[in-house]
Chains A and B, each alone.
Chain A
Amino acid sequence: MPTLTMIGAINTALSEEMSRDERVVLFGEDVGKRGGVFLATEGLQQKFGPDRVLDSPLSEAAIIGAAVGMAAHGLRPVAEVQFADYVFPGIDQLFSQAAKLRYRSGGQFTAPMVVRMPTGGGVKGGHHHSQSPEAHFAHTGGLKVVVVSTPYDTKGLLKSAVRDDDPVIFMEPKRLYRAVKEEVPEDDYLIPIGKAALRREGTDITLVSYGGSMVETLKAAEEMASAGINPEVIDLRSVMPWDKEAVLNSVAKTGRLLMISEAPHTASIASEVTATVSEELFDQLLAPATRVTGFDIPYPYAQDKLYMPTVTRILNAAKRVLDY
């Protein structure tokens, strides 16, 4: 079985989907000749030709908007936005067109499309190469939002996204692109959008996270385990829709929830998950459902690592929840 990085898994998933379905086309800034600035689409233009892997103008509105029109016309476009921080010029296309096309036309027109984007901090990118804007997308009805954390999931979820009949925002934590390699089967396997993964079974506290923060969450879980605490760890993988059933089942068992995400604190996915758990499991909670998140400030350059939830910050919060 080949071992792949997340970048390798993206490339493999796209290549397999393009071979499977000739309606799948890729485009975005630098995705063709250069193979993408992170090389996610390396070699695909040579393999599939310039009519299926297009270099687009430097315009996120054009990239996302054109994907809507291509999808409505019958293609299965996979658009790349070079950094999640640069999606904002394309937000009108995402929110006014992609998200609402099916609804506003009464189901007559649809936009089955994928918008891939590197997301999150940890690469010394300052505030225009480090943000985690998934809550904006989740807050707009009509979009699905996936945030991956492992190469294996990346292949299975990206293939699901390409085959999905709805617009899917596919967010790739850029600090994980080449951080780890793992075995990724050559089979054509799919991971369903909306299903979480149980990363560690435990009994004392439920740690829920997704994307880049899964790294620190799992490290914190290990440290807790060596201190005699047995945490359960859930990777949401999809944040819209998110797997409420998996989270509620786990918290019903442990009685404690700590939600970790590097996205800003207020009105976040972490807010949504903790609020839902508080609403639905109020009388089973042994401590308040608690969040460890990024901050409500522009992402700083100098304090790149300090912005994101650190292992120490996670452990401190977990202690408060456990000692409550």
Chain B
Amino acid sequence: MIKDKTEFQPFTPEPIRVLSDEGEWVAPFELDLDDATLKRLYAEMVAARMLDEKLTILIRTGKTSFIAPHMGHEGAHVAIANAVQKGFDWLFPYYRDMGLALAMGVPLVEIFGQMLGNAADPAKGRQMPSHTGSKALNIFTVGSAIASHVPPAAGAAISMKLRNTGQVTVCSFGDGATSEGDWHAGVNFAAVQGAPAVFVCENNRYAISVDLSHQTASHTIADKARAYGIPGYRVDGMDVLASYYVLKDVVERARTGHGTALVELEVYRYGPHSSADDDSRYRPKAEVEAAKKRDPIVRYRKFLEKQGLWDETAETELRARIAHDLDTALKQAEAAGEAPAEWMFEDVLSSRPWHLEEQRRVVLEELR
């Protein structure tokens, strides 16, 4: 049984799912989401998919230098975004979370600004593309160092507990991150403090080329939770409703004083690790094609159609609207122009000491 009265069960032998591959409701409880919510989840997944396609065009046309494709992760992204209180709870994402950023409400123009590293980037062009963040939405700016955001996520959750703010920290990462020492350090500290932290593994089975069997001897990522004395939930991350239901439950448990939890969302990355990777070197095409049979968007559309909530007309309208939004935002971001050179020496420290002032003058003199 995946759910006992009101709570989902941790450590289930099979991933928790509520939709079959054919989009049939298979859960042992009643669907209780309204039509608007059900349709919104779909629209957000399609937007995340179309964003990924747009980012691929950006790299192919030389407008950006790097992307970390998230195609296949859309169900996980939309589920996480809908399980939290946006702008109140804190999110500590990683670089394959651009779909999550979009679903959280990061404006498209900011996303494109970050992808272009230009003046439209609220982070002032400081990082490689696919590293988003937003103070307004409490989205901790992504860094590249794998799992290095896990201890800070624990710290934020401990702060929430110490000050009884009622907030929850959600921290996402890939399967490879769970091998890092920082991952262990952060999960352990949050757990021992009983902090309201939900650690979410978007397990796509590959850390660049290293497959899960070379990453961990654990049967599942969720199993790792046992060692920290916290519940670990194994979920079909390509089933947006299952992911949403479990995360919503776990986030609210964290909010009401039940401490830390780990959620494993089983997904699959359709694309390469990044635009600098060639995934044909380490996995057969047939495996990718097989994974696509569980596609979160195709499966969920079948479900919506069975509910009488979706049809081809709605699909066409939705895609046209998203395509328009993407084009408009990209144009707006492109129009912002290059990140000014003076930005280079800002935000190193709260004020500029003499040595940075001297170094800044070197650059300005060179550009004069």
Contacts and interface: CB of A to CB of B under 8 A. Distances in A.
A142 B155 contact: no
Contacts of B150: 65
Contacts of B133: 104-105, 108-109
Interface residues of B, number: 48
A245 B154 CA distance: 41
Interface string B161-183: 01100000100000000000110
Interface stretch (A91-99, A121-129, A262-270): A91-99
A229 interface: no
A315 interface: no
Contact of B141 (A61, A67, A92, A105): A105
A156 B73 CA distance: 51
A153 to B, nearest CB: 19
Contacts of A64: 151
A202 interface: no
Contact of B123 (A59, A62, A104, A141): A104
A72 B123 CA distance: 16
A51 B151 CA distance: 18
A73 B159 contact: yes
A2 interface: no
A122 B312 CA distance: 78
B189 interface: yes
Nearest to A93: B151
Contact of B157 (A54, A69, A102): A69
Interface in A34-82: 51-52, 54, 56-57, 59, 61-62, 64-75, 77
Contacts of A166: 349-350
B141 to A, nearest CB: 4
B186 interface: yes
Contact of A103 (B149, B157, B159, B347): B347
B151 A66 contact: yes
A70 B190 CA distance: 12
Given A92-B145, A106-B347, A244-B354, A61 B127 contact: no
A231 to B, nearest CB: 25
Contacts of B123: 104-106, 108
A105 B126 CA distance: 8
A165 B133 CA distance: 20
A144 interface: yes
B355 interface: yes
B155 A241 contact: no
B151 A104 contact: no
A144 B169 CA distance: 28
Contacts of B97: none
Contacts of A144: 349
Contacts, number: 152
B310 interface: no
Interface in B115-136: 121-124, 126-127, 131, 133-135
B142 to A, nearest CB: 8
A190 B127 CA distance: 36
A107 interface: yes
B153 interface: yes
Instruction: Give the interface size bracket for A toward B.
Output: 35 or more
Given A61-B151, A96-B148, A104 B156 contact: no
B168 to A, nearest CB: 12
Most buried by A among B90, B121, B188: B188
Contacts of A74: 159, 163
A92 B143 CA distance: 11
A166 B350 CA distance: 6
A93 to B, nearest CB: 6
A252 B143 CA distance: 44
Contact of B188 (A57, A67, A241): A57
B227 interface: no
Contact of B350 (A52, A65, A67, A110): A110
A74 B134 CA distance: 16
Nearest to A245: B354
Given A70-B156, A105-B135, A108-B134, A194 B353 contact: yes
Contact of A72 (B134, B156, B189): B156
B335 interface: no
B152 interface: yes
B347 A66 contact: no
B135 A108 contact: yes
A85 interface: no
Contact of B121 (A73, A75, A106, A244): A106
Nearest to B153: A69
B314 to A, nearest CB: 37
A141 B345 CA distance: 11
B230 to A, nearest CB: 14
B210 interface: no
A89 B192 CA distance: 19
Given A73-B90, A110-B350, A241-B353, A89 B152 contact: no
A136 B150 CA distance: 23
Contacts of A65: 148, 150-152, 154-155, 182, 185-186
Interface string A244-288: 110000000000000000000000000000000000000000000
Contact of B348 (A25, A93, A103): A103
A75 B162 contact: yes
B346 interface: yes
A246 to B, nearest CB: 11
A100 B188 contact: no
B25 interface: no
B160 interface: yes
Interface of A: 25, 51-52, 54, 56-57, 59, 61-62, 64-75, 77, 89, 92-93, 96-97, 100-110, 141-142, 144, 164-166, 194, 241, 244-245
19 contacts: A57-B189, A61-B151, A61-B182, A62-B154, A65-B186, A68-B151, A69-B92, A69-B151, A70-B155, A93-B152, A96-B143, A100-B143, A103-B347, A103-B348, A105-B123, A107-B347, A108-B123, A108-B141, A109-B140
4 closest Cβ pairs, A-B complex: A65-B151, A69-B155, A66-B155, A69-B152
Given A92-B145, A144-B349, 10 more contacts: A62-B188, A64-B151, A69-B156, A70-B159, A97-B149, A104-B126, A104-B133, A104-B141, A105-B141, A107-B346
